[in-house]
Structure 1
Amino acid sequence: MGDHTVFSLSDRFVERLAAHQPMLATQMGVAGHDAAWGKHDPESWQDLKALLREVRSELVCLPPSDQYWERLGRRVLDDHLAVRLERIERGEPLRDLNNIASPLQAFRETFDLMPRASEADWLAIAKRLESIGQAIDGYTACLTAGRQRGLLAARRQARACLEQCRVHSSDGAFFDTLAQQVLDTGTSSSIQRLVATGVQTARAAYSR
C-alpha cells in the first residue's frame, strides 16, 4: 500500500514505542527489547508525549484517501493517540498506583511474559532482574512528583501495594521461583549465577 498509509505509520509508531518502553514491548509481543526496562521517571513521560504528538502530526499530514480501511485506521490511531496524550496531560502517570493494574504489578508480571527456552532468554531475565531497581526508582519518582502536585492515589490502594511489595521481597515468593527454575533448565552455571544474583537484587528493590 506504499509508505504513506496509516498502516505504515502505525508500524513505525509501534517500533518507536517499543524502543521507548521496552516493558510495553514485551507486553505487546515485540521482540528485541526483553533485556531492558526503559525509563520510568517523570521525564520519560514528557518524552513519550513528544513522541505521541509527533506521530499525530505525521498522521494529519498523510495524503487524502478514499479507502475505507485507511480512513478507519486513521480515526482509530488518532483516537488512540488522543487518549494517551490526555492521560499524560492530566498527570495520571504521576499517581498510577493501585493493587491490580499499575506499574508496580507490571514490573513483576512482565517476567511471566518472557520466554525461558534458551540461555539468551535467561540472560534477558537476569538483566531485567538486575536493573529492576532503576525502573522502580523511576516509578517512585513519578509518584513523588505526583504528591508534590497534589495528584494522589487512594490510601487503601497504597496500603495494598505496600503489602504486595512485602510479599515480593520475602523468601519463597515469585522471584525465588525464578532462581529455582533456571537450575532446572540446564543452562550454564554463569547464567544461573546471574539469575540468582538478580533475584536478590529484585527482592531488595521491592523491599525499599
Structure 2
Amino acid sequence: MTDDRPVRQPSAVDRVAEDWVSTLVDLDPTVATYIGVPGRTGEYGDTSPAGAAAMADAARAAKRALDAADAVDAVDEVTKTDLGAELDLVQESFDRKLHLRDLNVIASPAQSVRDVLDLMPTATESDWQDIASRLHALPDAIEGIRETLLEGTREDVTPARRQVALIAEQATRTGAADGVFRQLVD
C-alpha cells in the first residue's frame, strides 16, 4: 500500500508550535521525559516563583509569534486555535497566581517531581545514571516548590488546608524507609 497524499510543508505556525515544545523542554526538562524527547533527563525545571514567571513570559512571547504567523491551511487554523488557547491559559493562570497555590493530592508539582521518575527508562546503566542525577536534583526542585508556596502564603494565595495535610501524608509515605524513593534506590 502506498500513500500518495502530498507531504505537508511546515508552515510558520508549525514553527511556532515546534519552538513552543522546545521552550517547554528547556524550561521544564521533565516535559522531555513525559513526551519522550531525549536529553536533560537528569534535571528538573525551576519550580520557584522565578520559574513560573519565566514560563509565563515564554508563553506571552510564543503567543505574540503565533498571532503574527499566518495560517496557510486548516491544520494551521486548528493549531492556532488550540495552541493559542493553551498559551492564554498559561498566562492567565500565572496572572491569577494559581502557581502560588498549586498543591493537590493528584496532579501538582508535589507529585510531578516524583511521578516523572516512573516514566524514566531503567534498562541501562546510563538510564540509572539519569535517575540518580534527577534524584540529586530533587532537593532543589522541592525547595523551589516550597518557595512558591511560601510566596503564595505571603500574598494570601494558598491551597486548601486539607490539601496541605494530605500532601504532608503523601510526602511522609514517599520518603519513608520503605517508601518509593527507597525502593527506587534499592
Per the TM alignment, residue 99 of structure 1 is displaced from its structure 2 partner at its CA by: 1.2
Q: 1:137 aligned to 2:169?
A: no
The CA distance in 2 between the partners of 1:129 and 1:11, in whole Å, is 29
Correspondences of 1:86-101 after superposition (within 5 Å) = 86-101=92-107
TM-score by length of 1: 0.82
- Correspondent of 2:127 among 118, 121, 129: 121
- Correspondent of 2:161 among 155, 159, 169: 155
Per the TM alignment, residue 3 of structure 1 is displaced from its structure 2 partner at its CA by: 5.5
Per the TM alignment, residue 63 of structure 1 is displaced from its structure 2 partner at its CA by: 2.9
Structure 2: runs of 5 or more not aligned: 1-7
Equivalent in the alignment of 2:64: 57
Per the TM alignment, residue 27 of structure 1 is displaced from its structure 2 partner at its CA by: 1.8
State the AA in 2 paired with 1:30.
V
The CA distance in 1 between the partners of 2:81 and 2:137, in whole Å, is 38
Structure 1: runs of 5 or more not aligned: 181-208
Equivalent in the alignment of 1:23: 30
Per-residue CA deviation, residues 30-51 of structure 1 (Å, 9 max, x unaligned), is 2212110021100111111111
Equivalent in the alignment of 1:199: none
State the AA in 2 paired with 1:49.
A
The CA distance in 2 between the partners of 1:91 and 1:69, in whole Å, is 33
Equivalent in the alignment of 2:85: 79
Provide runs of 4+ in structure 1 moved above 2 Å.
Answer: 1-5
Q: Is the 8 A contact 2:13 2:71 kept in 1?
A: no
Two-structure CA RMSD over aligned residues (Å): 1.3
Q: 1:6 aligned to 2:18?
A: no
Same amino acid, percent of matched pairs: 30
Per-residue CA deviation, residues 155-185 of structure 1 (Å, 9 max, x unaligned), is 11100011111111211111111122xxxxx
The CA distance in 1 between the partners of 2:142 and 2:108, in whole Å, is 12
The CA distance in 2 between the partners of 1:98 and 1:20, in whole Å, is 22
- Correspondent of 1:44 among 43, 48, 51: 51
For these two proteins, the number of residue pairs brought into alignment is: 179
